[in-house]
């Protein structure tokens, strides 16, 4: 079981640097989804992570999964997708960071680059099991989690929150959620409109189902 990462840039950047993210790329806070606040996010923005409360949102999204399974969807073959098995415990923040780094085009090297290269031809499920066994990546995540601003939760704690990631790949915006069986295509996007498009998806697909809840947190992977 892996420890959970806090949803703040220090935590994600701590893990990302240890995993191999190169400067000047880094995670920054997204302080709100109004246009004027989104304009404060540095560009280019190549990935967005979202931490959301799950209780009311997950049931509303179940019909979407069933529709995709019945009708299919367009998926780029460039996507690197990791299945979050139970062996990984509360590692959804780490998985979201991996999805962001691996699919965004940000400069990476070191352990994560080596891990991605070693998984060519593997299924998302196989990649998930391999990640659970990857000691260097686990240690990078554990070290970052234990340096948080709040008391580190228990490994098996039921937290009631979940991390996902949004990335633009081949002109489409994809939701990467390791607890799902596949990425979700949310339609077309461009480099210039990606952040606005991700904000729209978050508002329509997540916040709209729990509108009184303020416990949403977003970060962006940007080039500063």
Q: Shortest CA distance to 127 belongs to which of 84, 159, 93?
A: 84
Give the per-residue pLDDT at 5. 86
Give the per-residue pLDDT at 159. 66
74 domain-assigned? yes
Q: pLDDT in tens for each of the 224 residues of the chain?
A: 788 888 899 999 999 999 999 999 999 999 999 999 999 999 999 999 999 999 999 898 989 999 999 999 999 999 999 999 988 888 899 999 999 999 999 999 999 999 999 999 999 999 999 999 998 988 988 888 876 555 545 545 556 899 999 999 999 999 999 999 999 999 999 999 999 999 999 999 999 999 999 999 999 999 99
Active-site entry in 92, 99, 165, 186: 92
25 domain-assigned? yes
219 domain-assigned? yes
Give the per-residue pLDDT at 155. 47
2 domain-assigned? no
134 domain-assigned? yes
**106: domain CATH number?**
3.40.532.10
Task: List the domain range (segments joined by +) for residue 173.
Answer: 9-223
Give the per-residue pLDDT at 90. 83
Global pTM reads: 0.93
User: What total of structural domains would you count in the chain?
Assistant: 1
3 domain-assigned? no
196 domain-assigned? yes
Q: In what order do the strands lie in the sheet with 45-53?
A: 25-30, 217-223, 45-53, 161-169, 172-176, 184-188
Give the per-residue pLDDT at 3. 83
Active-site entry in 45, 99, 162, 186: 162
Give the per-residue pLDDT at 86. 87
Give the per-residue pLDDT at 151. 54
Unique residue bearing structure tokens 């994809």: 174
The yes-or-no answer on residue 99 being catalytic is no
The yes-or-no answer on residue 165 being catalytic is no
4 domain-assigned? no
133 CB-contact burial (10 Å; exposed 0-12 / middle 13-18 / buried 19+): exposed
Alpha-carbon span 48 to 29, nearest angstrom: 10
């Amino acid at each position: 079981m892996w420890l959970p990462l806090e949803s703040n840039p220090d935590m994600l950047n701590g893990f990302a640097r240890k995993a191999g993210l190169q400067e000047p790329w880094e995670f920054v806070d997204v302080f709100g989804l109004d246009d004027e606040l989104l304009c404060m996010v540095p560009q280019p923005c190549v990935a967005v992570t979202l931490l959301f409360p799950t209780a009311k949102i997950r049931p509303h999204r179940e019909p979407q999964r069933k529709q995709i399974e019945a009708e299919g969807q367009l998926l780029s073959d460039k996507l690197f997708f990791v299945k979050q098995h139970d062996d990984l415990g509360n590692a959804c923040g780490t998985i979201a960071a991996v999805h962001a780094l691996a699919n965004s085009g940000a400069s990476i090297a070191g352990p994560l680059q080596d891990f991605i290269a070693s998984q060519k031809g593997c299924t998302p499920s196989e990649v998930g099991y391999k990640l659970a066994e990857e000691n260097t990546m686990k240690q990078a995540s554990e070290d970052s989690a234990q340096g948080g601003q709040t008391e580190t939760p228990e490994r098996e704690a039921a937290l009631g929150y979940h991390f996902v990631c949004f990335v633009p790949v081949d002109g489409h915006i994809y939701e990467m959620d390791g607890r799902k069986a596949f990425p979700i295509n949310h339609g077309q996007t461009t480099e210039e409109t990606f952040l606005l498009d991700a904000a729209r998806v978050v508002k329509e697909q997540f916040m709209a189902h729990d509108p009184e809840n303020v416990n949403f947190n977003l970060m962006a992977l940007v080039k500063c």
